[in-house]
A and B are shown apart, each in its own frame.
Chain A
Amino acid sequence: MTEALLEIRNLHTYFRTDEGLAKAVNGVDLVVPKGQTLGLVGESGCGKSVTALSIIRLIPDPPGRIVGGEIMFEGLDLLKLTEPEMRTVRGNTISMIFQEPMTALNPVYKIGSQMAEVIQLHQKVGKAGAMERALEMLNKVSIADPERRLNEYPHEISGGMRQRVLIAMALSSHPKLVIADEPTTALDVTIQAQILDLINVLKDEMGTSNLLITHDLGVIFEMAQWVAVMYAGKVVEYASVDDLFGRPLHPYTGGLMESIPHIDQAVSPDKMLKTIPGMVPSLFEVLEGCSFQDRCNHAFDRCRSEEPHLVDVNSGHLVRCWLHE
């Protein structure tokens, strides 16, 4: 297995709300291998976005706080860095691309100045030099007519183009790790395809490692070499894409894959999908045993009393389940 660029160990991020303490991330372990894409997949409330924000330490405090764990990156524990030290990492060696291109760009500034600002933060160039770099980056992300774009405002360009601009900004400092949180969810299918292809091309060209967060398993299978499945604040399965697709071990993963309609599969005559009964448990609940027990067809006694650990079952294929431990 390749070297790890980023390693998260036992991360806990909690939020103090009026309704109680929400354990959004409740013991996450994962590894982003160097030069590869790790897909982090799960449904809403599972903690994937909070995990990403924890890595670059953008958790609003109050009401949230990273209460435990380690995030090892280039030999340093990111959680132990001071805020000024963290700022040299953010946007520089670790960049993030958010879901909503419109809200990630400031509507009152031109694209050129926003890009230049980011470039100048981390690189020693003057305004003119920064603009040149910005132009270079826009070309790299295949934006047509890049000189014109530099002088336009975010609302003057389309959603797909805005996302390209964000990618350009994220890559302008040649980061080692790019975190993309649902980068294409807000885009149309054909535009999504363009953006995903672009991300892949750039990853190969620039040698970045990607942490791709999404709820869409199809995107994961297209883009990632490794997958981590999250449920209720924990990683429940971690494997290579081939292993996960060929043999999902955790009942949740299996259930998820069976409940998705596939565009390339024959339709069952009764049009019924196999569903996972019930709902995701509340973030405020403290459950004894495995968090998936209420919805699992294979649950037995041990599942209700003891929480399973994430164990390596098959050289690199990890799962958190008593069926396999």
Chain B
Amino acid sequence: MREMEAEQTTRVNTDSLRYKFKLFIKNKLALVGLIVLAVVFVLVAFGPVLSPYDAFNTDFAVKLQSPSSSHLLGTDNYGRDVLSRIFSGARYTLLAAVVSVVIGLVLGAPLGVISGYFGGKVDLISMRGVDILLSFPPLILAMAIVSGLGPSLLNAAVAIGISYIPIFARVARSRAVQVKRMDYVQSAIALGSSRARIILTDVLPNSMTPLIVQATIYTGYGILWVAALSFIGLGAKLPTPEWGLMISEGRQYIITGEWWMTVFPGLFIMLGVIGFTLIGDGIREVINPRLRLK
């Protein structure tokens, strides 16, 4: 409502991080996401320390035990404590997901921004390249890349990262096209600012917010993709307690009734994805207020 844009300086700094955080918290779902993220972070940092048992220690005497007071989530076919494996394995899955997003962002965003700002032939060629990448189903693309590079967790992360490049490029490009039209960019041109300067100080900083939302959400998906690649044997290698790999190891035992080896890692993967998605949505809500009057 324009009526509310009175000639005044705002009382509360609605752009401060503290204010945004408070708004973020108001959203109950985002709060849930934040809690999940906190748990994940603790696991990534302190997983092995928190694990009651050594994740790699085999003990055939206690193999295939269902969840009990001594092994809260049961043991696997090697007698390893499932809970400890999940805790210690968090870092592999998570860090791989983060690496993939970083690759996608660092390579995709500048491409998108430059493409959007310069337009013309540069834009045409980049976006056709991006379209080509996008036309592959992400998993197939990742599989192809990993098969070329050789299976390993890092390569899986890189492969997923490459499949993310077009996504971040598109988001960055559409924002850059909007920002380019703003009078402050025109002003910078009129001042004699170089194109590099304009892109770095005017376009890029104002394109960050949608990129941050995308990055958060795709970290969540990254967990899924990394686990998927490990599941089919193109990611982490045995005996790494990566969650996807754990599911793969445990799948033959579902029929015989030892469900805890697959269900629990699966549960954690799900929590991780949901958590990041909720946070991403929460951030988006803060950035695009609906009923907030400015």
A47 contacts B23, CB within 8 Å? no
User: Can you sample 20 A-B contacts with CB below 8 Å?
Assistant: A18-B19, A18-B292, A18-B293, A20-B12, A43-B7, A44-B2, A44-B3, A44-B6, A45-B6, A47-B3, A49-B1, A50-B3, A60-B291, A62-B291, A63-B291, A280-B6, A282-B11, A283-B4, A283-B6, A283-B8
CA distance A195 to B4 in the complex (A): 27
B142 to chain A, nearest CB (A): 41
- In the complex, the number of residue pairs spanning A and B with C-beta atoms less than 8 Å apart equals 58
Encoded as 1 (CB less than 8 Å from any B CB) or 0, chain A from 34 to 55 comes to 0000000001110111100000
Cβ proximity bits A272-303 to B, threshold 8 Å, 1 near / 0 not: 00000001111110000000000000000000
B70 within 8 A of A: no
Q: A20: nearest residue on chain B (CB-CB)?
A: B11
Interface contact A49-B3, CB-CB below 8 Å: yes
Asked if B183 CB lies within 8 Å of chain A CBs, one says: no
Which one, B1, B7, B12, contacts A280 given CB within 8 A?
A: B7
A117 to B23 alpha-carbon distance, docked (Å): 40
- Interface bits A220-258 vs B (CB < 8 Å: 1, else 0): 000000000000000000000000000000000000000
- CB closest chain-A residue, reference B8: A282
> Is A17 positioned at the interface, with any CB of B under 8 Å from its CB?
yes
Minimal Cβ-Cβ distance residue in B for A47: B3
Which of the listed residues B1, B7, B14, B293 has the most CB atoms from chain A within 10 Å of its own CB? B293
Residues of B within 8 A of A17 (CB): 4, 292-293
Residues of A within 8 A of B (CB): 15, 17-20, 22, 24, 43-45, 47-50, 60, 62-63, 279-284
Residues on the A chain within 8 Å of B10, using CB: 19
Complex CA–CA separation, A140 to B9 (angstroms): 46
B259 → chain A closest CB, angstroms = 47
Cα–Cα, bound, A111→B19 (Å): 45
**Binary CB contact string for chain B from 1 to 36 against chain A (1 if under 8 A, 0 otherwise):** 111111111111010000100010000000000000
Q: Write out the residue numbers on chain A whose beta carbons fall within 8 Å of the beta carbon of B11.
A: 19-20, 282, 284
B4 contacts A15, C-beta separation under 8 Å: yes
Chain A residue with Cβ nearest B292 = A18
B: interface residue count bin:
10 to 19
Q: Report whether B6 and A15 are in contact in the complex, using a CB–CB cutoff of 8 Å.
A: no
- On chain B, the residues within 8 Å of A44 by CB distance are 2-3, 5-7
- Chain A, residue nearest B5 (CB): A44
Known: A279-B8, A284-B11. A15 touches B2 (CB 8 A): no
Interface pair A18/B2, CB less than 8 Å apart: no
Q: For A281, what are the chain B residues with a Cβ–Cβ distance below 8 Å? A: 8
Residues of A within 8 A of B2 (CB): 44, 49
- Chain B residues with CB under 8 Å of chain A are 1-12, 14, 19, 23, 291-293
B293 touches A22 (CB 8 A): yes
A176 to chain B, nearest CB (A): 25
Which residues in B have their C-beta under 8 angstroms from that of A279? 7-8
Chain B nearest Cβ from A46, distance in angstroms? 8
A62-B291, A63-B291, A282-B8 as given contacts; A19 in contact with B14, CB under 8 Å: yes
Residues of A within 8 A of B3 (CB): 24, 44-45, 47-50
Max count, chain A CB within 10 A of own CB: residue among B1, B6, B9: B6
B12 touches A19 (CB 8 A): yes
CA distance A283 to B6 in the complex (A): 8
Report the nearest A residue to B9, measured CB to CB: A282
Verify B8–A18 contact, CB threshold 8 A.
no
B4 touches A45 (CB 8 A): yes
CB <8 Å contact, A63 and B6? no
A50 CB, min distance to chain B CBs, angstroms: 5
Contacts of A24 in B (CB 8 A): 3-4
Tell me the minimal C-beta distance from B176 to chain A in angstroms.
Answer: 27
Give the distance to chain A from B19, nearest Cβ to Cβ, in Å. 8
Q: Name the residue in B4, B9, B23, B291 with the highest tally of chain A Cβ atoms < 10 Å from its Cβ.
A: B4
Residues of the B chain whose Cβ atoms lie less than 8 Å from the Cβ of A50: 1, 3
- How far, in Å, is B181 (CB) from chain A's closest CB? 19
Q: Which residue of B lies closest to A16 (CB)?
A: B293
Given the complex, which residues of A lie within 8 Å of B14, measured CB to CB? 18-19
Taking CB atoms, residues of chain B closer than 8 Å to A62 are 291
Say how far B24's CB is from chain A's closest CB, in angstroms.
13
Distance to closest chain B CB from A200 (angstroms): 26
Q: Which residues from chain B contact A60 at a C-beta distance below 8 Å?
A: 291
A20–B14 Cα gap in the complex (Å)?
A: 12
CA distance A282 to B5 in the complex (A): 10
Task: Return the chain B residue nearest A50 by Cβ.
Answer: B3
Identify which of B1, B5, B23 contacts A18 (C-beta below 8 A).
B23
* Docked pose: A19 CA to B15 CA in angstroms: 12
Question: A48 to chain B: which residues have CB within 8 Å?
Answer: 3
**CB distance B6 to A18 under 8 Å?**
no
CB of B152 to closest CB in A, whole Å: 49
> Could you tell me the distance in whole angstroms from the C-beta of B135 to the nearest C-beta in chain A?
31
Chain B proximity of A95: nearest CB distance (Å)? 20
Q: What chain B residues lie within 8 Å of A22 (beta carbons)?
A: 4, 293
B23 contact set on A, CB distance < 8 A: 18
Contact B293 A15 (CB under 8 A): yes
- Report B18 CB to chain A, min CB distance, Å: 13
| Residues of chain B with a CB closer than 8 A to A19's CB | 10-12, 14
- Residue in chain A with minimal CB distance to B12: A19
A282 pairs with B12, CB closer than 8 A: no
B19 proximity list for chain A (CB < 8 A): 18
How far is B1's CA from A284's CA once the two chains are assembled, in angstroms? 16
Give B294 Cβ to nearest chain A Cβ, in Å.
8
Kindly list chain A residues whose C-beta atoms are within 8 Å of the C-beta of B5.
44-45
Question: Which residue from chain A places its CB closest to the CB of B3 in the assembled complex?
Answer: A49
